[in-house]
Amino acid sequence: MGQDCATLTAVQDGVVIELSDAAYGFGGEPLFAGVGLTLGRGSFHFLTGPSGAGKTTLIRLCYADLLPTGGSVSIFGHRTDGMGRDEIAAARQRIGVVHQDCQFLDHLPLIDNIALPLTVSGRPVEPQMQNLHELLAWVGLGHRAEAHPPELSGGERQRAALARAVITDPDVILADEPTGNIDWDMSVRLLTLLAELNRMGKTVLLATHDLALIRAAKAQVSARVLRIAGGRLQLAGADL
């Protein structure tokens, strides 16, 4: 009962992920400290900063793949350092993650790779086949449903990774440098898909080093730009 109320409060307050004075370190000097960040429902944030500043680490904190070494991180109203394994698993079903180096099972066709989050969560796949095909069409891969991952281009792999991340209809999309290995046109296409998800009410946090992509987003989304550097997180710009 208490957990349900806490989750409901988080939804009503519009806060899905919150970092409060959060820090993370591998020993010795922390990678970053004193980080405060609130991701509201339906918000769009860019996360920038130099290589090694902690962008990936911060994103991993946001889905409890790491726990903070100082301060706290809360997901849907629950502090991650107090969540059990089952609670973390349940929270992750509401968070879609897109990695720069997206991994697939090469022996499975694309549509089965996209369906993997359903399988892992114990949901039957067959009733979702129409949704799977519609999702593949949405990311422009309807004609590649039976292709195997080694046959896909870099841009196709990233769009497939996005499809896999949203197959469970998550509340939050965390994208870690998803455009780092693809060309400009495909980067803009991926940004357009993320903008569409944001207009559907999804919360998006997109880590990128590409400032041109952030400028290109101006016509598509109202976003905040955050910069992590020197162990601190700062607002780098107001609404684009």
Tell me, yes or no, whether 5 lies in a domain.
no
Tell me, yes or no, whether 162 lies in a domain.
yes
For the chain, 240 residues long, give each residue's pLDDT as a single digit of tens: 233 333 333 344 588 999 999 999 977 788 999 999 999 999 999 999 999 999 999 999 999 999 999 999 999 999 999 999 999 999 999 999 998 888 999 999 999 999 999 888 888 888 888 889 999 999 999 999 999 999 999 999 999 999 999 999 999 999 999 988 888 998 999 999 999 999 999 999 999 989 999 999 988 899 999 999 999 999 885 444
CB of 9 within 8 A of CB of 180? no
Tell me, yes or no, whether 51 lies in a domain.
no
The residue assigned the tokens 């969560």 is 121
Q: What is the DSSP string of 103-132?
A: ---TTS-HHHHHTHHHHHTT--SGGGHHHH
Tell me, yes or no, whether 179 lies in a domain.
no
Residues 6+ apart with CB under 8 A from 96: 162, 164, 165, 166, 168, 170, 172, 173, 174
For 113, the domain range is: 104-169
Count of the separate structural domains present in the chain = 1
> Length of the chain, please?
240
Tell me, yes or no, whether 118 lies in a domain.
yes
The CA distance from 240 to 219, in Å, is 8
The two tokens of residue 25 are 């370190």
Tell me, yes or no, whether 110 lies in a domain.
yes
Tell me, yes or no, whether 70 lies in a domain.
no
In terms of pTM, does the model score above 0.85? yes
